Amino acid sequence: MKRINIKNIYYYVTVSIVIFYSSVNAQWIETNGPFSSEVHTLTVSGTNLFAGTNDGVFRSTNNGTNWNAVGKGSLFPPSVVSFAVYFTNLFAGTSDAGVFLSTNDGTSWTAVNKGGLANTSVRALAFSGRNLFAGTSGNGVFLSTNYGTCWTRVNNGLPINTYVRALAVSGSNIFAGTSGDGVFLSTNNGTNWTKVNSGLTNTYVRTLVFSGTNLLAGTLDNGVFLSTNNGTSWTNTGLTNTTVNTFVVSGTDLFAGTSSGVFLSTNNGTSWIAASNGLTSITVIALTVSGTNLFAGTSSGGVFLSTNNGTSWIAADTGLANTYVRSLAISGTNLFAGTSGDIPVFLSTNNGTSWTSASTGLTNTGVISFAVSGTNLFAGTNAGGVFLSTNNGTSWTTTGTEFINSYVSAFAVSGTNLFAVINGGISLSTNNGTNWTSVDAGIMNSVNAIVVLGANLFAGTFGGGVFLSTNYGNSWTAASTGFTSTTVSSFSVYGTKLFAGSYSDGVFLSTNYGISWTKVNTGLTNTNVNALAVSGTNLFAGTDGGGVFLSTNNGTSWTAVNTGLMIPFVSSLAISGTDLFVGNFGGGVWRRSLSEMITGVEDQSNEIPSQFILEQNYPNPFNPSTTIKFQVPNASFVNLKVYDVLGKEVATLVNEEKPVGNYEINWNASNLSSGMYLYKLQVGNFVETKKMILMK
């Protein structure tokens, strides 16, 4: 049956913790351009930084060191005032020429204004899932469900001739900030809007942003207003007597660009401090974050850069020429990334720090799935069938000539049996892919995912739920009792627990081999689940637009773990050693230490450390206790102290010689006030610092 799938002698060691508002003293430096009188908007797409200006679009590929005009002549008039990024698609809203689309990093642009976009002054752009919304000056909001090919005006409940300056999305909620009419909320993709202005004493809203679950509104002359209940009520946050033009969130830090410079909040907008040292042009119109770099676009001074705003996720893309990562695989100490591009497979042997091509023999095809079986690595492609490498990706050969032009979306391995989802059906090979046999009789739907649990093989389908085979695919029975979604995107196994991710209805759990299922979604604010991964008793879910979520209780509750993850469209997850890797649609590969996210990571106390290491505290933010781990590879004198903001010592946690080993210290800060902390490990000339936040 052939179907197309839709879809690491003595040292004196000092470990100190200092309360320190590092971003307050953030030094800004002016970047070399762009050369325009006013920068209206900034955005990041992959490794590119874009600036929308009075003179069109400028692009920097080296963090603002150099800028070049892109697409010159194709945008007319050239004033670009808004951006939106969806995977590799970059949309630009202009002051009076509508919306333009670039699919090649701004090199060329195409107008996408036809089909109903009645107002061409587009002040705001935002994606909600795959829906693109445009806020206009005078005609409210327009919606496109096909990347700008067609537009529909969605203004029911909005005042006539509404000027929409800002859009913000949280789950299924879409907020529109207007000039003079305040904030409106739609819970149905813009079909209907409701005014949510109680306590919002200034209704001239210039920008909106979510920081955690808090919604912030920047206004004309009256600073920032905060809502903790989706706009039902608002309070002024104390950043008053200034016009707020833009917001950006970087980890737990919230920045506001105003007519008086940049301000920082470390408590979701409750209070603010100035962060403008080095800014010679204080009217900040645009802000964006790229990795650890914070960029500010100004009205007359171009773009400024601050490099001391650290994040928890780090990009792991050096040498990774293709950033559209569809799949990840771990084989021993090797990490493989399957991409869509001319170089379909990349290999990293250093935990993602750098990548090299591993594609010899793989030509003109994208890799969307992997399987590891002993020393064999299999790659499933989007148009070339199955490939096999027996030398860690150094070279590849095709397997199964009957599927040489096929779409291979998933694998499962059981002993010497290799199962593959090929063109939406399931096939079995018992000889490393040389020959294949169809084993999907009884499944009438296209298959998206497969997994082996004990002697059972499970298939997740598009539109038909879950199917079970107890005889290697010779026969199948429906196994969807309690599974309310018909489309299954992913599986993961822990012991006898089987987790299934669905597209639209979140995560389900079966503890009885698929006989029945229970939805486990509390706290999972994005239920479009593309990938699942298990680390001990911890379950991670990668979503389409909501980033990564963590559950430490078998899915009973979930917490977002997205600090620093710039692009929330997750295609794949992989766990290697102490790190979780994310494959991203258009954003490459990202890495984060499990210990930053999981409070119960197993302590490797039996392992002899090879170097001094200071780990990130966890949890972080914390209230009121947190754990600090460090490693001592040689007998050393360790001093661990706590200081207040004036440098006064308030606690001594460790002040003694320690033998070789792994250590963790629990610090209770219940007698201290909220704030940002900088803790420091110093061994001779070796110094490492990390920050943490006490949030009461």
pLDDT averaged over 10-residue windows placed end to end, the chain, 696 residues: 36 34 48 68 80 82 77 63 83 87 84 80 88 91 89 91 91 90 92 93 92 88 90 85 85 84 84 78 78 73 62 53 66 73 76 76 74 80 83 82 78 84 88 86 87 87 89 88 86 85 89 89 88 84 88 86 76 79 73 70 47 72 74 71 64 66 73 72 63 69
What per-residue confidence (pLDDT) applies to 25? 40
The number of beta carbons lying within 10 Å of the beta carbon of residue 324 is 19
Beta 529-535 vs 625-632: how paired, if at all? unpaired
What per-residue confidence (pLDDT) applies to 689? 62
Sign of torsion, CA 383 344 358 584?
negative
Q: What are the residues whose beta carbons fall under 8 Å from the beta carbon of 70, sequence distance 6 or more?
A: 50, 56, 57, 58, 59, 102, 105, 106, 107
Question: Is residue 177 helix, strand or coil?
Answer: strand
What per-residue confidence (pLDDT) applies to 413? 84
What per-residue confidence (pLDDT) applies to 186? 94
What is the spatial distance between Cα 305 and Cα 315, in angstroms, rounded to a whole number?
Answer: 19
What is the spatial distance between Cα 354 and Cα 370, in angstroms, rounded to a whole number?
Answer: 20
Do 176 and 143 meet the contact criterion of CB atoms below 8 Å apart?
no
What per-residue confidence (pLDDT) applies to 454? 79
User: Of the candidates 398, 331, 312, which has an alpha carbon nearest to the alpha carbon of residue 590?
Assistant: 312
What per-residue confidence (pLDDT) applies to 232? 92
What per-residue confidence (pLDDT) applies to 72? 59
Can you tell me which residue has the tokens 């606690």? Answer: 651
